[in-house]
Amino acid sequence: MIKTYTNIIFDFDGTLVDTAPDILDCLRKSYRVALKREVEIKRNIVGSPLTQMINKLTPELNDAEARGVVRVFRKLYDNNDFTKTRLFPTVKQILRHFQEVGARQFVVTNKPRFVTQLLINKFEIPYFQEVVNYDSFLGRSLSKTQMVGYLVSKHQMPLRESLLVGDTSSDVIAARENDMKSVAVMNGYGTKTEILLAKPHYIIQSIKELLAIVNYR
């Protein structure tokens, strides 16, 4: 068996799971409840930490107003039933296949730890050696670059055998800053222009094309 990549790090939102419908629904409701206002929100806002999303959408808010939106969103999103959230097609089959052939799989995400694990359980995808969230370390928020670096160090990943798969330019940048190759999935939340400017090593239209890159045979 020829193995090209033995460690695969996945982004979560927009790469493995289409979380945008529930996130956008809760975010719109949060502005209505906290500030009594309507805000136009597009899919490509998803993927950043919540505070960054709010700052991008409404930079004019003061700290108290922004905290109010965050507080309402957390209550709504963390307690909903995620009926609009879906796995992207073929994700479960591909994750299962990589596990069966011996690849180690990981997740790095700006999503809180509690909700990430809830969705992993909901969709029955327990195929990850470790999941690292921005809030995995108490009192310290990690960037994507730091999350990837933590995994590389802890699991002693040979960089030439390691790959980061994501759907935004920030995922591509996190891979590059850790001297790792990147795969950009184009059916997620990142814009084509931003992804191309970040210069990923590979570009695929959907996650099923990852099989040809990882190349177990």
Among the residues of 36-162, which ranges form H helices? 50-57, 63-78, 91-100, 113-122, 144-154
Residue 49: its pLDDT value, please? Answer: 84
Q: Give the domain CATH number at 52.
A: 1.10.150
Same structural domain, 119 and 192 = yes
pTM for the whole structure: 0.92
CB-CB neighbours of 197 under 10 Å: 10
Mean pLDDT on 76-99: 95
Residue 12: its pLDDT value, please? Answer: 97
Domain boundary among 78, 102, 128: 78
Domain extent at residue 30? 20-78
177-199 pLDDT, tens digit per residue, is 999 999 999 999 999 999 999 99
Same structural domain, 24 and 11 = no
> CB-side exposure of 139: number of CA atoms within 13 Å?
0
Please tell me the total count of domains within the chain. Answer: 2
216, pLDDT greater than 70: no
Same structural domain, 136 and 206 = yes
1, pLDDT greater than 50: no
DSSP class of residue 169?
Answer: H
Same structural domain, 54 and 71 = yes
Same structural domain, 132 and 66 = no
Same structural domain, 168 and 192 = yes
Same structural domain, 171 and 137 = yes
Same structural domain, 28 and 69 = yes
Q: Which of 19, 50, 16 is nearest to 171 (CA)?
A: 16
Compute CA 4 distance to the chain's CA centroid, rounded to the nearest angstrom.
23
10-69 pLDDT, tens digit per residue, is 999 999 999 999 999 999 999 999 999 999 898 888 888 888 899 999 999 999 999 999
